[in-house]
């Protein structure tokens, strides 16, 4: 299974870049993984929130293949524990999923079309985190999930 960590926005900001790269490299030991950074729309400032989400959705959906499993991170999603996230990864790998795409939703959520395409919608926390920090958090959580599945020492129960 290939894991694709996807996010609409600018390249990783300096304050999270080293951590994201480190955890992403660590995930490589378990799954093929890469980041898909979809550049923000150039005319974003002139668009209404609704139109912005709609146009972002078009850019996002273009990147998603028919058989991809789409895991959407959205604050309206289900709160999972780290072992539950690990279980979900295991289940997808067992089902011979070719590509698991984990998409970080925007600050205002995502357009309805993306919501509908998502196979799972999960929330990292009741707290709201900045987009850049979510990238670091999800990279760490996917790495943690890998170590949980292999019964490795990183995660304390």
Residues in contact with a copy of itself by the rule CB under 8 A = 14-16, 18-19, 22, 79-82, 84-85, 107-108, 124-130, 133, 136-137, 140-141, 144, 155-156
d(CA 152, CA 146): 9
Nearer to a copy of itself, 54 or 131 (CB): 131
CB of 103 to a copy of itself, least distance (A): 17
Both tokens of residue 81? 């524990």
Task: Find the shortest distance in angstroms from Cβ 72 to a copy of itself.
Answer: 16
**Least separation in angstroms between CB 42 and a copy of itself:** 21
Min CB(59)–a copy of itself separation in Å: 20
Spatial CA neighbour of 4 closest among 23, 31, 29:
31
Q: Which is nearer to a copy of itself, 51 or 68 (CB)?
A: 51
Give how far the C-alpha of residue 10 lies from the chain's centroid of Cα atoms, to the nearest Å: 15
Matching residue, tokens 């989400």: 53
The least CB distance from residue 126 to a copy of itself, in Å, is 5
Closest to a copy of itself by CB, 55 vs 83, is 83
Q: Among 103, 123, 105, 12, which Cα is nearest to 53's?
A: 105
Residue closer to a copy of itself, measured from CB, 61 or 154? 154
Cβ nearer to a copy of itself, comparing 59 with 128: 128
What does 20-52 look like in DSSP terms, one character per residue? HHHHHHHHTTTSEEEEEEEPPPTTGGGS-HHHH
**What DSSP element (H or E) covers 8?**
strand 2-8
């Amino acid at each position: 299974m290939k894991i694709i960590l996807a996010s609409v926005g600018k390249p990783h900001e300096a304050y999270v870049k080293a951590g994201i790269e480190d955890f992403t490299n660590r995930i490589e030991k378990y799954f093929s993984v890469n980041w898909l950074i979809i550049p923000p729309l150039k005319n974003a400032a002139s668009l209404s929130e609704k139109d912005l989400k709609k146009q972002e959705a078009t850019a996002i959906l273009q990147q998603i293949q028919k058989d991809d499993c789409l895991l959407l991170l959205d604050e309206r999603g289900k709160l999972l524990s780290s072992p539950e996230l690990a279980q979900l990864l295991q289940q997808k790998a067992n089902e011979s999923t070719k590509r698991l795409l984990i998409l970080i939703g925007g600050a205002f959520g995502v357009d309805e079309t993306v919501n509908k395409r998502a196979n799972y919608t999960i929330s990292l926390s009741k707290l709201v985190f900045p987009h850049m920090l979510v990238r670091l958090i999800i990279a760490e959580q996917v790495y943690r999930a890998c170590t949980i599945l292999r019964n490795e020492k990183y995660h304390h129960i």
